[in-house]
Every structure is written in C-alpha cells, then in structure tokens.
C-alpha cells in the first residue's frame, strides 16, 4: 500500500497521506513521496488540488517511533526535516488552488501542511495542536513563518509555545481554517469549494492565486492584474461567459 496516493479525475488532483494505522505520520520515505505527489499534481493538468489524509487523521506530524529508533538523532532530524521541507516547497509551488480536506487530527508538521493550502475545510471533530513541545522540539514545516500570518502573532505564540490543542470551531474563529463541516458533510463541503473555484474557468483561478502570492508593491499588483486580466479575457471560456452575461 502506497503511503501517499495521487488520484487525478475530472479536473481535480487529490493527494492523500495514507498511513491511517499510524495517523499518517511522516518519516523520510513518506515526506519524499509527499513531495513527489505535489510535483506530479502540479503538472497533472488538474484545475484544483485537494490534500487530505486517510482514516481519522489529516496527519499527526513526524514519526516519533522513527525518531526514537535513530542511532544519531540529530542527523536523522536533519534528513527528516530536509525531506519535509522539500515537500513543503513542492506544495507551496503548486500553481493551482490547493484545498485542504481536514478530516481529523492535525498535529506537528500537519499544521505546516495545512497552511500550505489556499483554503482549508475541517470536519467538526478535527483537533489542532503543534505537539513539538511534548517531545522537546521546535516547530518545523514553516509553522513559525506561516502560522502568525494566518492567525496573528500572539495566537501563534500561544499555540507554538504552550502546545495548546484547539478544536475545529476555534480554528475557524481564528482563521486557521476557512470552513467547517459535519462528519457526514465534509466531502460535500470540499466539493462545493472545488466547484466554486472551477466556476471561474480552467485558468483564471491559478492566475488569481499567482496574483495573491506575488508580493511586491501596489503598483506591481496593478500592473500584474492588468496583464493577466487581458490574457484571461482572450480565453474561449471568458469570451463565452462574457457574451452570455451580456445577453442577460
């Protein structure tokens, strides 16, 4: 059984961390497979990418058993986090919108993986905790850079320094996730988000994501928007939609 799955169907690429019996924890091979899946999803031709986990966890973070079994703990962590960083960079570089389907437990590196998405939909029973302090480690997978931007510096300090566990309702209130759904409605909620993104056509959502992540000055943003809106206006999808709208 593959530890990371990639399925591409009907314009959607789904990456699934697939170690349900271990809460989808990451060791070096799993982190390497996650990076490979992200790279393949990016080049798959899909319009949207969904990232999720099997079973009752999104991912519980790093594989502590593998850490404990390492002869040289420091060398192992360098290799593990190096592999995880490559996965994070591959996820962050996906040009298509990325939707996190948060199906359960999110711990440790799972927070960084979640934050690499553009929109996160969490099941009501999901829990979120950094977990690093419980084993005397510092955060990884970009949590110290991405979490303050998502929820604010003081809340990020509260989570990362104390290891506090929060529920899905709190994660929604804080802005760690954007939507919450009951267990029997998670797939429908994710599907609604994916469908809403795809209504803008096959190329505009990725272009919008690029604009949002471009940085630069206000003038830079204006110039980039001008160039891309002109490009998208010439696509068959936009031409047809504009014509239909003008007739109403």
3-state SS string for 14-54: EEEECCHHHCCCECHHHHHHHHHHHHHHHCCCCCEEEEEEC
- List all residues 6 or more positions away from 33 whose beta carbon is below 8 Å from its beta carbon: 2, 3, 4
pLDDT number for residue 203: 96
> Is 187 in the same domain as 221?
no
Range 183-212 average pLDDT: 97
CA atoms within 13 A on the CB side of 66: 17
Q: Are residues 239 and 141 in the same domain?
A: no
Task: Say how far apart CA 169 and CA 102 lie, in whole Å.
Answer: 13
**Residue 214 belongs to domain spanning:** 204-247
pLDDT for 248 equals 84
One domain, residues 144 and 235: no
CATH classification at residue 22 = 3.90.226.10
161 φ, ψ (degrees, to nearest 5): -85, -30
Alpha-helical (H) ranges within the chain are: 28-42, 64-68, 73-92, 109-115, 143-151, 153-162, 168-174, 186-198, 204-213, 218-233, 236-247
Q: Is the pLDDT of residue 29 over 80?
A: yes
Return phi, psi of residue 129, to 5°.
-150, 140
The answer to whether residues 104 and 126 touch, using CB atoms and an 8 Å cutoff, is yes
Rounded to two decimals, the pTM is: 0.95
Are residues 103 and 69 both part of a single domain? yes
Query: Mean pLDDT score of the chain, rounded to an integer?
Result: 96
Confidence at residue 160, expressed as pLDDT on a 0 to 100 scale: 97
For range 22-33, the mean pLDDT? 97
Q: Are residues 74 and 180 in the same domain?
A: yes
Average pLDDT, integer, range 66-95: 96
Q: pLDDT per residue over 140-177, tens digit each? A: 999 999 999 999 999 999 999 999 999 999 999 999 99
- Same domain, yes or no, for 87 and 179? yes
Q: Do 209 and 136 share a domain, yes or no?
A: no
Q: Each residue of 188-202: pLDDT tens digit? A: 999 999 999 999 999
Query: 57 forms bridges with which residues in the sheet?
Result: 105
Q: Which helix (H) or strand (E) holds 122?
A: strand 119-123
pLDDT at 1 over 80: no
For residue range 109-125, what is the model confidence (pLDDT) as tens digits? 999 999 999 999 999 99
Counting every residue written for the chain, the total comes to 248
- The DSSP bridge partners found for residue 128 are 106, 166
pLDDT for 58 equals 98
pLDDT digits (tens, 9 = 90+) for 214-247: 989 999 999 999 999 999 999 999 999 999 999 8
Q: Residue 178 class from Cβ within 10 Å (0-12 exposed, 13-18 middle, 19+ buried)?
A: middle
Phi, psi of 97 (to 5 degrees): -60, 140
Residue 91 and residue 174 share a domain: yes
Looking at the structure, tell me whether residues 164 and 212 fall in a common domain.
no
Distance CA 154, CA 147 (A): 10
Give the span between the Cα atoms of 151 and 154, in whole angstroms: 8
Give yes or no: residues 140 and 43 share one domain.
yes
Q: Annotate 143-172 with b (16+ C-beta within 10 A) or e (fewer).
A: beebbeebbeeebbeebbeeeeebebebbb
Which of 198, 213, 235 is the C-terminal boundary of a domain? 198
Domain count, the chain: 2
Whether residue 209 sits in one domain with residue 190: no
Burial of 68 (0-12, 13-18, 19+ CB in 10 A): exposed
Q: Are residues 169 and 214 in the same domain?
A: no
Last residue of a domain, one of 161, 179, 198: 198
């Amino acid at each position: 059984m593959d530890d990371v799955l990639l399925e591409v169907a009907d314009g959607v690429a789904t990456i699934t961390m697939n170690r349900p019996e271990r809460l989808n924890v990451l060791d070096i091979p799993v982190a390497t497979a996650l990076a490979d899946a992200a790279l393949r999803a990016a080049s798959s031709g899909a319009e949207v990418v969904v990232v999720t986990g099997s079973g009752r966890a999104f991912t519980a973070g790093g594989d502590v058993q593998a850490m404990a079994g390492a002869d040289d703990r420091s060398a192992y962590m360098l290799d593990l986090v190096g592999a995880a960083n490559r996965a994070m960079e591959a996820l962050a570089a996906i040009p298509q919108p990325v939707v996190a389907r948060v199906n359960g437990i999110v711990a440790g590196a799972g927070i960084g993986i979640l934050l690499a998405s553009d929109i996160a939909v969490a099941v009501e029973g999901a829990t979120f905790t950094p977990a690093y302090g419980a084993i005397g480690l510092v955060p990884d997978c970009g949590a110290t850079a991405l979490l303050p931007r998502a929820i604010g510096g003081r809340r990020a300090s509260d989570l990362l320094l104390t290891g506090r566990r929060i529920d899905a309702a709190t994660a929604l209130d804080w802005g760690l996730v954007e939507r919450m759904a009951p267990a029997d409605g998670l797939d429908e909620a994710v599907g609604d988000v994916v469908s809403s993104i795809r209504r803008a056509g096959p190329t505009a959502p990725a272009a919008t994501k690029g604009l949002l992540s471009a940085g630069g000055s206000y003038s830079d943003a204006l110039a980039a928007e001008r160039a891309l809106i002109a490009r998208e206006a010439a696509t068959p999808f936009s031409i047809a939609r504009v014509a239909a709208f003008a007739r109403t």
